Amino acid sequence: MENKHFIRTIIENDLKSGKHERPITRFPPEPNGFLHLGHARAIIMNHNLAKDYRGTFNLRFDDTNPLTEDALFVEGMKEDIAWLGCHWDNLFFASDYFEEMYERAMVLVKKGKAYVCDLSAEDIKATRGDLTTPGTDSPYRDRRVEENIRLFEAMRAGAFEDGACVLRAKIDMASPNMNMRDPVIYRIQHSSHHNTKDAWCIYPMYDFAHPLEDAIEGITHSLCTLEFEDHRPIYDWYVEHCEMPKVPRQIEFGKLIIAHQVTGKRFIRQLVEAGVVDGWDDPRLITLSGLRRRGVPPEAIHRFVQALGLPKTEGETDVEMFNEYVRDVMHATAPRIHAVLDPLKVVITNYEGDVETVMNAPFHKDDETFGARPVHFGRELYIERSDFLPDKPDKHWKRLSLGLEVRLMHAYFIRAESFDTDDRGQVETVYCTYDKRTKSGSGFKERKPNGTIHFLEATSAKTATFHLFENLVDPDKDDSLPLEARLNPHSKQAFSGFVEAGVPFEEGDAFQFTRNGYFAVDRDASEDRPVFNRVVALKSSFKAPGRKKRT
Ligand code: ATP
Ligand code: MG
């Protein structure tokens, strides 16, 4: 199912050459928000590589920035990864290595490869130079080792205020790679940390912490996204000069980017904080919690991620490609029932007597193990408002209108005879007649109906709320506009309608509602009024290469 990718080749060669006995991979999120579909690429790939080559997969929280991180996000991320079914062999926190990181930084200090620098953050930036100009050496660069040891110890002990000084690596201020121009290793930050509380007032920078975390855990193949390619020399420099016993290898791959979707925790956070969406798990977001709430099966995420493989380049993927995998999975797993989202009442004027059961309709037409349920018919029914046209239709109209006859799915042909309107001129009730001889399955062939529509018998239908979603961002708006100006005002619509009664609706349960799409039960549902989120519509124009047509 997976497109074989270059990292598999690297791992296979490393196993063959005896460089490694088995791979150790990790997913290293920073707990500063919730995970999204892009992260799923990194999670699934790291997880599967470890699994397929009998290795180990670590979940490691890269929690080195007390200002943005929170235990709440740790829990949320664990829940999302578990939901994906990517079970981790070990759970680690980078903050558990703070002591070792400090000692490794001290190794650099003692070797004269790191120094305490009193320049302000602005001055450090101003003296870094740029791509065409070398940087200039800090006046503190040649501090003696003993002085650096004393100052670094004092930094740790809390002798200085935030920003008073930093520990920097002593590499090369003229390096063509800006990341090698004496990067900062430790900063002073008097803040409480979600894990270590007030034990530390200095915190390691990402570029220093990350390779050490990998090396401490014995990670063999450290996968990261392409923007870290320029950081690989500094990654290797720290592993080497901190004298880490194990040497991980950083390998970059392309980010998964979904066109016209809000990704990046920073941007999602903006929407959450501005109240544009109802929290991190709003079904319009492609956060994993949002996808879960919407009702997307995790299997669809796996298939999608695996089909894309691990490209070395970054490119946008259309959300419709993802939706096709969602349909594929739900096609096989979701029972099919009827729901009328935007109901219009129909009265069958020539129907006498009680409600009848017209047939036992299967829950899935390709899979009889789903079983069947009774379909009711009676004098009062609901159809979709959009299935009746009060005006004279043209020849392309294949649904109900005055004088036209349609088949009610699983039941009879009905003909519209007249209709009522309310004070606003909206159609209120359509009066129809039915023909007893046309019962579904009766073999009646004398007339051809003007299309087939679904319906619900009114007394047995259950009221329900339906949420339909569109893209949160309007794909037709210019990408250069700020996010607020690109939002689609119709991204969420709620309908009050009806669904078949007699079927239990538990949170997360998925259904195909005939002609309306795939839906799942939202957690807000109550027993007498379920709420459904549309996961995906039934059809799209997108064709994945080599996929079979569904029925
Ligand atoms: P964001 O910008 O959304 O906050 P991030 O890269 O800052 O993402 P981290 O928590 O640092 O988030 O990322 C954890 C891991 O997920 C990293 O190894 C990163 O490379 C990977 N990752 C993040 N975004 C994507 C993406 N769009 N596609 C694939 N992998 C990703
Ligand atoms: Mg980040």
Domains along the sequence of the chain with CATH: 6-253 (3.40.50.620), 344-454 (2.40.240.10)
Judge whether 84 and 113 are in contact, CB under 8 Å. no
- Closest ligand 1 atom to residue 255 Cα is 28
| 43, 225, 250, 258: residue to mutate for ligand 1 pocket, most atoms within 8 A of CB | 225
Centre of ligand 1 to C-alpha 94, Å, is 16
> Cα–Cα distance between 249 and 174 in angstroms, integer?
26
Q: Spell out the long-range contacts of 99-102 with Cβ–Cβ below 8 A and sequence spacing 24 or more.
A: 100/212, 100/216, 101/204, 101/208, 101/209, 101/212, 102/156, 102/202
Span from the CA of 263 to the centroid of ligand 1 (angstroms):
10
Per-residue pLDDT of the chain (551 residues; tens, 9 = 90+): 677 889 999 999 999 999 999 999 999 999 999 999 999 999 999 999 999 999 999 999 999 999 999 999 999 999 999 999 999 999 999 999 999 999 999 999 999 999 999 999 999 999 999 999 999 999 999 999 999 999 999 999 999 999 999 999 999 999 999 999 999 999 999 999 999 999 999 999 999 999 999 999 999 999 999 999 999 999 999 999 999 999 999 999 999 999 999 888 889 999 999 999 999 999 999 999 999 999 999 999 999 999 999 999 998 999 999 999 999 999 999 999 999 999 999 999 999 999 999 999 999 989 999 999 999 999 999 999 999 999 999 999 999 999 999 999 999 999 999 999 999 999 999 999 999 999 998 999 999 999 999 999 999 999 999 999 999 999 889 888 888 899 999 999 999 999 999 899 999 999 999 999 999 999 998 878 999 999 999 987 555 444 455 54
| The amino acid at 177 | N
Which residue's alpha carbon is at the smallest distance from atom 27 of ligand 1? 38
CA-to-CA separations, 466 to 280, 489, 513, 539, in angstroms, rounded: 20, 18, 11, 18
CA 29 to ligand 1: nearest atom:
10
Ligand lying closest to the C-alpha of residue 34: 1
Of 34, 39, 92, the residue with max ligand 1 atoms within 8 A of its CB, to mutate for a pocket test, comes to 39
> Pocket around ligand 1: residues whose beta carbon is below 6 Å from it?
28-30, 38-39, 41-42, 224-225, 255-257, 263-265
Q: DSSP 3-state assignment of 321?
A: helix
Residue among 366, 380, 320, 300 nearest 84 (CA): 300
The full DSSP string for 44-86 is: HHHHHHHHHTT-EEEEEE----TTT--HHHHHHHHHHHHHTT-
Instruction: Give the other-Cβ count within 10 Å of 353's Cβ.
Output: 7
Query: What is the Å distance from ligand 1's center to 256 Cα?
Result: 9
Task: Identify which of 49, 11, 31 has the alpha carbon closest to the alpha carbon of residue 305.
Answer: 49
CB burial string 204-239: b at 16+ within 10 A, e below: bbebbbbbbbbbbbebbbbbbeeebeebbebbebbb
Question: Which ligand 1 atom is the nearest neighbour of the CA of 268?
Answer: 3
* CB half-sphere exposure, 404, CA atoms < 13 A: 24
* Closest CA to ligand 1's atom 8: 264
What is the rounded distance in angstroms from the CA atom of residue 522 to the CA atom of residue 512?
A: 15
CB atoms inside a 10 Å sphere around CB 112: 13
